[in-house]
Amino acid sequence: MEKTVSTNQAGLILCIFTIAIKLSALPALMFSYSGNDCYIACFISLVVDFIGTIILLHYIHKHKEKTFFELIRDSLGKTVAIIIQSILLIYFFVKCVLILQELHDYFIATLFEELNPIFFIIVLGLLILYCITKDFRTIGRVIQLVFWPTLVGITFTLIFPIHDLQIEKLFPIFEQGFYPIYKTIARTTFAFGDYIILLPLMGKIKFEEKSKKKLAFIMCGTLSFVFNFYIVFVGSFGKFSTSQTLALGELPLHNTTPATIGKLEWLTIVIWTAILLLNAIILAIATKDSFDTIFHTSDKNIGTIVITLGIVTTLSLTYLQLEKVIRFLVSPTFATIIGSMHIAIILILIISSIICSKKTNCRSSVTKNRRVKKC
Amino acid sequence: MQKKLQENITKIQETFGNSKELIIKEISSMKTKCAVLYILGLTDTTALSKLVVKPLLESHIKPTPENTPTDILTICEAESETDEQKIISALLKGKGILFIDNHPEALILGIDKFKERSPEEPPTSTVLKGPRAGFVESLKTNLSILRKIVATTKLRTISTDVGTHTQTTVTIVYIDGLADKKIVDSVKSRIESIQIDGVLDSHYITQYLEERKNSMFKQIGNSEKPDIVASKLLEGRVAIIVDGSPMVLTVPFIYLEDIQSSDDYYSNNSRATFVRWVRLISMMISILSPALYIAVILHHYKAIPLKFLITIINTTKGLPLTPFAEILFVLLLFEILYEASLRMPKYLGLALSIVGALILGDTAVKAGLISPPAVMIVAISGLSIYCIPDQAPQLYLLRLLFTFAGGALGFFGIIALTIFFLMYLSDFDSYGGAYFAPIAPLVKSDLKDAIVRSNIVNMKNRPKSFNKNMKNKKRQGEINGKNSIH
C-alpha cells in the first residue's frame, strides 16, 4: 500500500507543529523584549509565517510528485541538495531537542516535584527509537485521534482565563515605538517559520481538489488561535508575563475557574504534555527522514539508531539548561541565521521550481522537434 | 481405486486398520455386487437403508456409477469420485460410500448426520433486542443460517480442508460484487498455506490470518451471531466459517467494530450513540483508572482535590503495602477471582462470589491489608472491561502495563505508553483496513456509523474504510437486481 499523507493529516501535523513551541517559553520571552506589545510582534511573525505557508503550499502542489530533495537535486544539482538537506537535518534536530527540554521543564513546573533524569531520558529515548521507525502517515493518524480532545482541552485553557482577563493590560500599544517589536521579531525567529515542516511532507501529501485551500485554512485557524492565546496571556498576567516561563502550564494553574470546577487544569496540562511529545516525534521523524535522504543507507536501522543516540546524547549534555539554550537561540547571530534560513528556503524552492519547469519545457520541446523530424 | 470391489473394500479396511466402526454392507443388485461403507455413529443409517440400500435391492436396472444416482437411488446428494484420499476423507466426515463391482469409481452419498445443539443465544453476545439465534458447531447449519438471512445468489463460498489429521472444512463466505476480490484471494491463499495437524476451533485459523503474529491486539473480527456476520457481509467483509466452531471470523477488522453492538441497530439511534460513548469511556476507565490512581498517589498528589486527598490519606494510613504494591495486589486478586470463576463448576459460582466479595474484599480492608479506594478503583476498572467483552483479553494486559507505567513514571509514563500504543496501532492495516478507521484516517462518510450511530435511513453508502474500490457503494439494491437485499 502506498504510504501517503492525507490533506487532513498534513494539516493537523502543521497545526500541532505550529502551536507547540509558541505556547511554552516563547510568550514570556517575547514579553521581555517588547512588553505588552509582544502580541503585535507575534501577529506580524504569524502573518509572515502564513505568507510563507501559502508560497510553500503553491510550490509543493505544483511539484506534488517530487520530494523537496528531488526537486533541488533535479534543478540545482546533487551537492546543493545534500547541503540544503543537511541544514534541514540540523534545524529539525535542534528544534526536537529544544522541544524535549521544554517538555522536561514543563514537567518540573507542573507535574513532578522531582524528575529522575535517567528515567526521563531513557523513556524518551526508547519512545523516540520506536516512533522514528514509523512515517508521517502514522504520526498523522495519531494526531487525528488525539486532535479533538486536544482542541477541547486547549480551548478550555483559553476560555477559563477570560473571566480574569483585563483588556487594559494590552494597552497602550507602541509605547516605546516600533523598535522593540522589530527586536522581538528578529530575535525569536527560532520559534517561527513552521512552514518548514511542509518540506519533509513534500511529495507525500495526497492532494485533492481543495487541498491547498484546506491546508491554508487550517494554518490560518491555527495562527488565529496562537494570536488569541497571546492576547489572553498578556491580558491575564500583564507585567508579570515575563516570569511565566511556561505559558500554557501557568495559565490554567493561576486561574480560579478550573480549580473551582475541580482540578480541571490538570487535564490541560496532560494534554499539552502529549502535544509537546508528539511534536518532538514529528521533528525526530523529519530528522530521520533527512538523514536517510542524505546518506541513502540500505539499512534503515542505522538512521534510527544514529538519530536516537544523537537526541539522547544532546539531551543529556544540555540537561536542565533550557535557559542557556534559549539564550543561544535568541542571540543576534543565531537568530539572524535562522531567520535568513526561513526566507532562503522559500527562495530556493521558487528558484528550483522555475529551473525545473524550464528543464521540463525544454525536454518536451526537444521531444516535439524530434517527432516533427521523424514525420 | 481398483475395478474389483473386494480389492477396494480391503484397501479401505486396511487404511482404517480393520476398525470395527467401519461398517461394510455388501448387497447384490441385478446380480451386480455392490458395497455400502460408512462409519458407525456418523451416518444416518435410516436414510441409508431407505434411500440407498432399498432402491438398489429393488432395482430392475443394472447399476453403474453413471446411472445409479439418476435412475436407481432416491438420494439427492450422490457424487462420483475415484481419488482414494477424497473417498476416505468423505467417509471420515460421515458420508456413505457406494462401490460397484468392476467399476473404479465410488459414489459419495450425502447421508452424514451429527447430533448438534440448536442455534441458541450465544453466551458471548447476549442481546436485549434483536435476533437471538447463534451459530452452532456444524458448518452446514451455519451456512444455511447465513443463506437464510442473506438470500442472494451472489453469496459465494470457497471451501478448503485444513489439518493433516482433522481435515476440518474451512469455508470462506462473501458476497460477490461487494467484497474486495483481493481480500478474498489473500484469505484463501493464507488458509491454503496452513500446515497444521488439526484445527479444533476457528481461533486456530485466526492466528494464521493475523498480519502481526505476536501482537496482543485483536486483528480478526469474530462473532457467534448470524445477524452480525450477515451485516458484515453486506458491508463487503469476508467471513470464514470453520467446521466444529460456532465462532465465525470476519476480515477486515477495525477497532470500532468492538465498540458497536448488534443492539445498536435495533434501538433508537440517539440511545445507540449514547451507549457507544459509554463503551468508549468505560474502555478508557478500564485501562487507565488503576494507572491514574497510582500516578496521582505516588507522583502528583497536587492533582487531587483537597477533600478527596484527605479521605485517601485517612484510608491508606498504616497500610503495610506501598500504594503501588497494594494496587498490584488487588489487581492480582481480581485476576485470580476471574480465572477461578471461569473454571469453577457452576454450582460453586455463588459461593465464590461470596468468598471474593466478602471475605477477600471486605475482610482484607477491615484487616488493614488494602485500602477501600484501591478496591473500588480495581472494581470499577474490572466492571468497565466487560462493557466491551470482545476486547477483554487485551484490556486486562493493557491495564497492567499502564499501571506499571503510572507507578514508575506518573502521568509522563502514562502519556508515553499511550503514544507508543497509538503509534503501534495507527501503523497497522488489517487487510487494507486501517485499525482506527474511520477516525484515523478520517473517512467522513463512515462516521455515520462509528462513535455516532445515525439513522439507518441516512446510512446510504457502504463503508469505505476498508474497501475503497467498492463498485456498489449504495446500500440499497444493486447486487442482484433491484431490492435483492432488503
Are A144 and B441 a contacting pair at CB < 8 A? Answer: yes
User: Which of B427, B448, B475 is the last residue in one of the domains?
Assistant: B427
Instruction: Using the predicted structure, report yes or no on whether residue A127 has a pLDDT greater than 90.
Output: yes
**pLDDT value at residue B414:** 93
Query: Does B172 fall in a domain?
Result: yes
Reported confidence tier of residue A375, pLDDT bands at 50, 70, 90: very low
Query: Does B322 fall in a domain?
Result: yes
Q: How many CB atoms lie within 10 A of CB B352?
A: 14
Distance from CA of A280 to the nearest CA of B (A): 12
Lookup: cell for A266: 490538570
Domain identity same for B178 and B70: no
Number of domain units in chain A:
1
**Order of strands across the sheet that contains B96-100:** B22-29, B32-39, B96-100, B106-109, B78-81
Residues of chain A found within 8 Å of residue B411, distances taken between Cβ atoms = 111, 270, 273
Instruction: Pick the closest to residue B27 from B118, B96, B88 (CA basis).
Output: B96
Inform me whether the C-beta atom of residue A119 falls under 8 Å from chain B C-beta atoms: yes
**Order of strands across the sheet that contains B221-223:** B155-162, B168-175, B238-242, B248-251, B221-223
Q: What are phi and psi of A7, to 5 degrees?
A: -60, -40
Q: In this structure, what DSSP letter does residue B30 have?
A: T
Instruction: Using the predicted structure, report yes or no on whether residue B361 has a pLDDT greater than 60.
Output: yes
**pLDDT value at residue A192:** 87
Residues of chain B found within 8 Å of residue A204, distances taken between Cβ atoms = none
What range defines the domain where residue B379 resides?
A: 266-427
**pLDDT value at residue A253:** 65
Average pLDDT over residues A1-17: 83
**pLDDT value at residue A374:** 41
Q: In this structure, what DSSP letter does residue B436 have?
A: B
**pLDDT value at residue A113:** 66
Reported confidence tier of residue A274, pLDDT bands at 50, 70, 90: confident
Instruction: Using the predicted structure, report yes or no on whether residue B403 has a pLDDT greater than 50.
Output: yes
Number of domain units in chain B:
3
Give the DSSP H/E element, type plus range, for residue B222.
strand B221-223
Query: Does B463 fall in a domain?
Result: no
Instruction: Using the predicted structure, report yes or no on whether residue B360 has a pLDDT greater than 80.
Output: no
Instruction: Using the predicted structure, report yes or no on whether residue B282 has a pLDDT greater than 50.
Output: yes
Average pLDDT of chain B, as a whole number = 86
Reported confidence tier of residue A88, pLDDT bands at 50, 70, 90: very high
Inform me whether the C-beta atom of residue A111 falls under 8 Å from chain B C-beta atoms: yes
Distance from CA of A112 to the nearest CA of B (A): 6
- Report ipTM for this prediction: 0.89
**pLDDT value at residue B357:** 67
Domain identity same for B408 and B300: yes
Are B436 and A141 a contacting pair at CB < 8 A? Answer: yes
Instruction: Using the predicted structure, report yes or no on whether residue B324 has a pLDDT greater than 50.
Output: yes
Among chain A residues, CA nearest to B444: A8
**pLDDT value at residue B204:** 92
- DSSP assignment of A68-134 equals HHHHHHHHH-HHHHHHHHHHHHHHHHHHHHHHHHHHHHHIIIII-SS--HHHHHHHHHHHHHHHTTS
Region of B410 (left: φ > 0; alpha: ψ -120 to 50; beta: rest) is left
CB B96 within 8 A of CB B68: no
Higher pLDDT, A140 or B351: A140
Residues of chain B found within 8 Å of residue A130, distances taken between Cβ atoms = 420, 423-424
Instruction: Pick the closest to residue B249 from B271, B229, B266 (CA basis).
Output: B229
Domain identity same for B60 and B104: yes
Average pLDDT of chain A, as a whole number = 83
Q: Which of A140, A270, A281 sits opposite B411 (nearest CB)?
A: A270
Average pLDDT over residues A251-273: 68
**pLDDT value at residue B484:** 38
Q: Which of A130, A266, A270 sits opposite B423 (nearest CB)?
A: A130
Tell me how many residue pairs between chain A and chain B have CB atoms under 8 A apart: 87
Report the percentage of chain A scoring pLDDT > 70. Answer: 89
Of A85-89, A309-313, B236-240, B333-337, the poorest mean pLDDT is in B333-337
Average pLDDT over residues A183-202: 89
**pLDDT value at residue A141:** 93
Average pLDDT over residues B127-138: 85
Domain identity same for B208 and B352: no
Average pLDDT over residues A89-118: 83
Distance from CA of A144 to the nearest CA of B (A): 6
Domain identity same for B176 and B288: no
Report the percentage of chain B scoring pLDDT > 70. Answer: 93
Domain identity same for B153 and B221: yes
Of B148-152, B322-326, B362-366, the poorest mean pLDDT is in B362-366
Burial class (CB in 10 A: 0-12, 13-18, 19+), B457: exposed
- DSSP assignment of B237-283 equals -EEEEETT-S-EEEES--GGGGT--GGGGGS-HHHHHHHHHHHHHHH
**pLDDT value at residue A348:** 92
Mutate to test the interface with B, among A16, A129, A142, A268 (most CBs of B within 10 A): A142
What's at B271, amino acid-wise? R
What range defines the domain where residue A169 resides?
A: 5-374
**pLDDT value at residue B405:** 93
Interatomic CA distance for residues B295 and A122, integer angstroms:
19
Domain identity same for B144 and B10: no
Instruction: Pick the closest to residue B391 from B247, B283, B238, B292 (CA basis).
Output: B283
Inform me whether the C-beta atom of residue B439 falls under 8 Å from chain A C-beta atoms: yes
- pLDDT (tens digit per residue) in B28-59: 888 888 999 999 888 888 888 888 888 888 88
CB A36 within 8 A of CB A329: no
**pLDDT value at residue A318:** 82
**pLDDT value at residue A296:** 83
Query: Does B55 fall in a domain?
Result: yes
Distance from CA of B78 to the nearest CA of A (A): 46
Of A137-141, A299-303, B353-357, B473-477, the poorest mean pLDDT is in B473-477
Are A145 and B426 a contacting pair at CB < 8 A? Answer: yes
Instruction: Pick the closest to residue B453 from B272, B291, B219 (CA basis).
Output: B272
Query: Does B257 fall in a domain?
Result: no
- pLDDT (tens digit per residue) in A60-83: 988 888 899 999 998 989 999 999
Higher pLDDT, A167 or B131: B131
Are A142 and B429 a contacting pair at CB < 8 A? Answer: no
CATH code at position A235 = 1.20.1740.10
Residues of chain A found within 8 Å of residue B447, distances taken between Cβ atoms = none
Average pLDDT over residues B169-183: 91
Query: Does B483 fall in a domain?
Result: no
Query: Does B239 fall in a domain?
Result: yes
3-state helix, strand, coil in chain A (%, to 5): 80, 0, 15
Inform me whether the C-beta atom of residue B441 falls under 8 Å from chain A C-beta atoms: yes
What's at B130, amino acid-wise? G
Interatomic CA distance for residues A67 and B21, integer angstroms:
71
Are B304 and A274 a contacting pair at CB < 8 A? Answer: no
**pLDDT value at residue A4:** 85
Taking the CA atoms of A114, A119, A123 and A128 in sequence, report the sign of the dihedral they define: positive
Q: Which of A1, A107, A278 sits opposite B412 (nearest CB)?
A: A107
Domain identity same for B209 and B314: no
Query: Does B200 fall in a domain?
Result: yes
Determine the straight-line distance between the first and last CA of chain B, rounded to whole angstroms. Answer: 49
Instruction: Using the predicted structure, report yes or no on whether residue A321 has a pLDDT greater than 90.
Output: no
Inform me whether the C-beta atom of residue A266 falls under 8 Å from chain B C-beta atoms: yes
Reported confidence tier of residue A372, pLDDT bands at 50, 70, 90: very low
